[in-house]
Chain A
Amino acid sequence: MMFIVVAITGATVYLAENNLRANQQRLLNAQFQDQLRSFLAVQDLRSSAVAEKCREISRSVRLRAALEEKDVDDLYRNALTELQDVFDPSLGATNSDDERIRASFFRFLDVNGAVLSPGDQPAGEVDPQALARTLIPTGHEPNDDDQSVAFIAINRGNDPSVLRQIVLTKIQGWDGNDLGALVLGFSMGQTQVLGGHGAEIKSGIWLNHQFYVADLSASDRHIVAQRVQSGFTDAGGNFIVELESGPHLLFYKALRSRVATAYDVCLYPLAESLREVRALRWEIIGLGLLVLIGGFVASSFLAKKLSKPVDQIVATSAENVTRREKAENDLVEVNRELEKALVELKATQQQVIQQERLSALGQMAAGIAHDFNNTLMPILGFADVLLQNDAMLDDKTEARRCLEMLRTSAKDAASVVSRLREFYRPADSNEEFPIVDLAKLVQQAVSLTEPKWRGLTQARGITVDVQTNFKTYPIVAVDESALREVLMNLLFNAVDAMPEGGCVSIETAIEKDRAVLRVADTGTGMTETVRRRCLEPFFSTKGEHGTGLGLSMVYGIIERHRGQLEIESTLGKGTTFVIRLPLAQEIEPSLASDAMAAKSKSALNVLVVDDEARSREVLMAYLRTDNHSVATASSGREALEKFRRRSFDLVVMDRAMPEMNGEQTARFIKQVNQNIPVILLTGFSGQIDEGATPAAVDVVLNKPITLDALRRTISKVVYVA
């Protein structure tokens, strides 16, 4: 116990002391930085004063005149006058604590940088060789600065402790040409006393591996030189050096100099602050001891008080056992409840999934509506054109063209509806598609969408050009209407992406074993984000006008055909959709000649049963095209009556009829004649799918029905079976 208390108190004291010391150090640093800053500010001021003084002198008309006339006597004589308040040759090779700006020598350089000898004129002493060495890099160097600074050491015996700051100032003639230069050697301000702690910053210059500083013993200077040798790497920094006179913080800063790198070096004695830290430490330790003794006294009191409750704990331990048992029971109960909750949660999850499915169905319906409207548009458009334009109606080829368009669109509408079923039944992987000429499909899609982009041109005065470029004519096995829808979707998107008009080009090609379809527009393009997300369902950039389903539909269709969809888009340049589809291997002759085969077979007796007169008419027209004889019935009852009276080869029957529906009627028919094939037509696509054909029915056909589909089905159930 005692050991713990001692340890804790010790640690507390240690931490407190550390904390205080760090604070003290921070304070010291801040103080030092402040002092240094003001010191450097003073130095800067001094430098600019020196610079300005030199500039002023160099502008003297007399000096310039004398230099122009190469009149060295007049030059130096006049310079003495100009420099009278600065120049002090008596400074010689000594350092001065004089706060004023004093120059110990001056020289003039001619236009080539050579020193003009002052002759007998007093111009201060300077080692000519040292000066020449210092000035060498300056002379011929083209230099835009009118002024530059260097440092030169003035040897005094073996002790190179005197340093001069050399300021070289160009002298220009009246026409702005260089006449020469003035070189002034200034004594450096060495030491500054800057309040606080009585600490004195010593300032010096580090030049050519020598440290020039006043009032520093030779050995200290040596120590600094050794530290500095390895220490100066950057433009500035600081570290602590242990000098004989105590620890110092050394701060250095690179100086702008024409010759070898020079550094301004400041030394800040730390002895005073360290003494303060030491005193502080003893205070803390004393305080710690006091806390320790107090702690002992307090802990002995506490120990006595604590011994009582321990007895009580022993007494109540029996009670604790019962409590624990109860707790375990509770735990079991909770566990059971949790399991129950889990089951409920799972059920809920199922519900959620179901709801999700339903909402997806709703969304799908919206998509169907979207596509359905797309296909309705050409139907309405061409119908309108035909109805309102008698001339066109009379022109057989034109009328026929329009009617073909109408039929194609109507077929597509039918296939759109049929896809409702596909929504909950995944696409059959063995699905077989008819073989189609891709280029023809493209042409159809272009024609079908024509009302849209042509209309746009007229309505908004913009020009949308659609160009097709068929490099080759790939043959693909596809669901024709689905692919047409893909193309129409892409075309609509392309037109929407060109609010200012532009050009859509559609290209077909064969690359390797794939058919390639490129739809490129010169529209606004997509951002990377939009490009990545554009295939997601319900992602739309068209706001209220888009369902966000077009491209996801496109993607779905391409996937179903085992194709690939690539999107290249540059913002502001346009977008290119590249569709790759597998090429059809070869055209199966059986499929191609199916319709022919059906036609060539002998005529049949067909009973058509439908409660809707228009449907009956269409079916009749279809069947008569192929020379079948047709009897009709408008209800199941009527059908049965007719069936009993004469024999038929085939029954084509609507599913949804009042009184007796198609399935029921079919059952009765089969009871009469087992071998009569029955084709059931249904308008409610998806309620019966082909996989679950009612027993009495041979084939279920989804409405609306095309002539082709009917022919194929008939040949399947009558001739093949």
Chain B
Amino acid sequence: MNVRSLASLGLASLTITAWAKDDASIEGVVQLPPPTVVRALNQRYGTNVEAALTPSNPPAAVVYLEGNFSANAKPSDAVAQMGQKNMLFAPDLVAVHTGGAVQFPNLDDTYHNVFSYSKAKRFDLGRYRKEEKPSSVVFDKPGVVTVHCEIHDRMRGTVLVLDSPFFQKTDSAGHYRIDHLPAGHFTIKAWVNEADVRERVVDLKGGGRLHLDFPAK
């Protein structure tokens, strides 16, 4: 771990302590859809036939506190990672605070070419291999960014760019826990996919612990 990451960790802890006085927490379960079945789409290039059979990522969702907290909080310098492994984005769902950065390392032995045409962030990293470390991408607008690989048409990742620093990705069973939340009246959303975003309105009290489940619609 280099100095830069240490510094960013320090900054992150500072951010958290800024809200520490309210220190509410919320936890629960998001009911997740079953794991997606791997569809062997027509491969544009016949180089990765076996890859079509690898399992896809386990399902997950992102739970976050809605609201614009940018005025109160500086974006984290922590760099999230969305690697490419076994012809898949791993993980294929990453959430970042607006202004946050994501790195896309290639962990496979073949070329990948990560790009997005999404409105929230348009970028194209070009083709690169394992050794070539791509520069990280900063996501400066909130929104859903769909990430593709030009070479492998089955690869698909999502970067969820949120205005809120209060978010948590669930585990594959749907469990989440967000600590150090401010008190107040909020909308809490669970983002499963673009077509499935569930929301609940909560009143958070200082030091309170809340259990909140998001059953499937």
User: Which one of A68-76, A300-308, A333-341 is at the B interface?
Assistant: A68-76
Q: Does B44 contact A65, Cβ atoms closer than 8 Å?
A: no
Minimum C-beta distance from B203 to chain A (A): 37
Q: Does A65 contact B42, Cβ atoms closer than 8 Å?
A: no
Enumerate B57-79 residues with CB–CB distance to A below 8 Å: none
B179 within 8 A of A: no
Q: Does A69 contact B156, Cβ atoms closer than 8 Å?
A: no
Q: Does A69 contact B150, Cβ atoms closer than 8 Å?
A: no
Can you spell out 22 A-B residue pairs with CB atoms less than 8 angstroms apart? A56-B44, A59-B153, A60-B44, A61-B44, A61-B148, A61-B152, A61-B153, A62-B115, A62-B148, A64-B153, A65-B115, A65-B146, A66-B117, A68-B117, A68-B146, A71-B117, A74-B117, A74-B122, A174-B153, A174-B156, A175-B39, A176-B39
Provide the residues of chain A in CB contact with B150, threshold 8 Å. Answer: 61-62
Enumerate B131-164 residues with CB–CB distance to A below 8 Å: 146, 148-154, 156
B34-53, CB under 8 A of A: which get 1 and which 0? 00000101101000000000
Total number of A residues with any Cβ neighbor in B under 8 Å: 15
Q: Contacts A56-B44, A174-B154, A176-B39 hold; do A65 and B149 have CB atoms under 8 A apart?
A: no
Provide the residues of chain A in CB contact with B44, threshold 8 Å. Answer: 56, 59-61
Q: What is A's interface to B at a CB cutoff of 8 Å?
A: 56, 59-62, 64-66, 68-69, 71, 74, 174-176
Give the contacting residue for A61; candidates B39, B118, B122, B149; CB below 8 A.
B149
Give the contacting residue for A174; candidates B41, B116, B151; CB below 8 A.
B41
Give the contacting residue for A65; candidates B39, B41, B117, B151; CB below 8 A.
B117
Minimum C-beta distance from A542 to chain B (A): 67
Total number of B residues with any Cβ neighbor in A under 8 Å: 19
Which A residue sits closest to B156, measured CB to CB? Answer: A174
Cα–Cα distance between A175 and B122 once the two chains are bound (Å): 22
Q: What is B's interface to A at a CB cutoff of 8 Å?
A: 39, 41-42, 44, 115-119, 122, 146, 148-154, 156
Which B residue sits closest to A174, measured CB to CB? Answer: B156
10 extra interchain contacts, Cβ-Cβ under 8 A, other than A61-B151, A61-B152, A174-B41? A59-B44, A59-B153, A60-B44, A62-B150, A65-B115, A68-B117, A69-B117, A71-B117, A74-B117, A74-B122
Provide the residues of chain B in CB contact with A60, threshold 8 Å. Answer: 44
Interface SS majority for chain B: loop
Minimum C-beta distance from A82 to chain B (A): 11
Q: Does A65 contact B154, Cβ atoms closer than 8 Å?
A: no
Q: Contacts A61-B150, A64-B153, A174-B154 hold; do A69 and B118 have CB atoms under 8 A apart?
A: yes
Minimum C-beta distance from A487 to chain B (A): 75
Cα–Cα distance between A65 and B153 once the two chains are bound (Å): 10
Provide the residues of chain B in CB contact with A59, threshold 8 Å. Answer: 42, 44, 153
Provide the residues of chain B in CB contact with A175, threshold 8 Å. Answer: 39
Provide the residues of chain B in CB contact with A62, threshold 8 Å. Answer: 115, 117, 148, 150
Cα–Cα distance between A574 and B118 once the two chains are bound (Å): 79
Cα–Cα distance between A59 and B152 once the two chains are bound (Å): 11
Minimum C-beta distance from B126 to chain A (A): 12
Provide the residues of chain A in CB contact with B115, threshold 8 Å. Answer: 62, 65
Q: Contacts A59-B42, A174-B41, A174-B153 hold; do A65 and B148 have CB atoms under 8 A apart?
A: yes
